[in-house]
């Protein structure tokens, strides 16, 4: 009978120890998930304003839900931060009525906010951009002396662009021009996108 009580105590102690270990491991996993969150990142955009990119859901992707945040993401990548991730959280309209009904440029473009592609020859984009099925509309780029232009200018080998749609946009350049990506010579991965 004493032996049975000792065994029961050992079983209970073993269960308590296992429970403590599971709780500790769960705490470790939550610390690991928090560590993956991207730190806030502040850049100056084309308007001269400072914009802070945030990873509000702590998934390692900067949340992009406005035109200013899209410009901030481009500015961050184009200033040597080529390995940051971004995700669209909403449809973004940069300019309205960029194209006429027949698909030509509406006017001379002087009233449109000009676009600077994400990534370039010097600083190729190397990370992941997830459009999450959203659209970017109204991009305007018009410089026949510049190459590597599109929503993205140039991709590196490990780049992934997925689930983004580009509509009602005007992009004109010298060479390596595309809607989603101008230069993908490094064989980045582009999936489920359209222009």
Query: 92 with 135: CB under 8 angstroms?
Result: yes
Residues of the chain above pLDDT 70, percent: 82
Closest to 136 measured CA to CA, from 101, 96, 164: 164
Tokens, residue 127: 């990370």
pTM for the whole thing? 0.81
Average pLDDT over residues 175-191: 94
The H or E element spanning position 86 is strand 85-88
Query: Which residues on neighbouring strands pair with residue 160, listed in sequence order?
Result: 128, 189
Q: How far apart are CA 124 and CA 136, in angstroms?
A: 20
Q: Which tens digit of pLDDT belongs to each residue from 138-174?
A: 999 999 999 999 999 999 999 999 999 999 999 999 9
Tokens, residue 33: 């998930």
Mean of pLDDT over the chain: 87
How large is the C-alpha radius of gyration of the chain? 24
pLDDT band (50, 70, 90) for residue 17: very low
pLDDT of residue 129: 98
User: Which residue, chain included where needed, has tokens 């230069």?
Assistant: 183
How far, CA to CA in Å, does 43 sit from each of 25, 75, 84, 89?
A: 37, 7, 13, 19
């Amino acid at each position: 009978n004493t032996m049975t009580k000792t065994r029961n105590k050992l079983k209970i102690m073993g269960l308590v120890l296992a429970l403590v270990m599971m709780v500790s491991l769960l705490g470790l996993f939550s610390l690991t998930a928090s560590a993956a969150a991207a730190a806030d990142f502040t850049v100056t955009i084309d308007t001269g304003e400072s914009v802070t990119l945030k990873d509000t859901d702590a998934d390692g992707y900067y949340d992009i839900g406005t035109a200013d945040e899209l410009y901030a993401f481009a500015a961050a990548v184009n200033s040597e931060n080529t390995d940051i991730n971004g995700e669209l959280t909403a449809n973004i309209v940069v300019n309205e009525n960029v194209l006429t009904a027949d698909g030509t440029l509406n006017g001379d473009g002087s009233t449109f906010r000009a676009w600077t592609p994400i990534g370039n020859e010097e600083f190729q984009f190397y990370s992941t951009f997830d459009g999450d099925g959203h659209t970017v509309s109204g991009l305007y780029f018009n410089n026949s002396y510049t190459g590597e232009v599109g929503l993205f200018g140039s991709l590196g080998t490990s780049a992934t662009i997925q689930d983004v749609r580009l509509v009602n946009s005007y992009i004109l350049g010298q060479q390596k021009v595309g809607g989603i990506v101008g230069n993908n010579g490094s064989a980045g991965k582009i999936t489920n996108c359209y222009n």
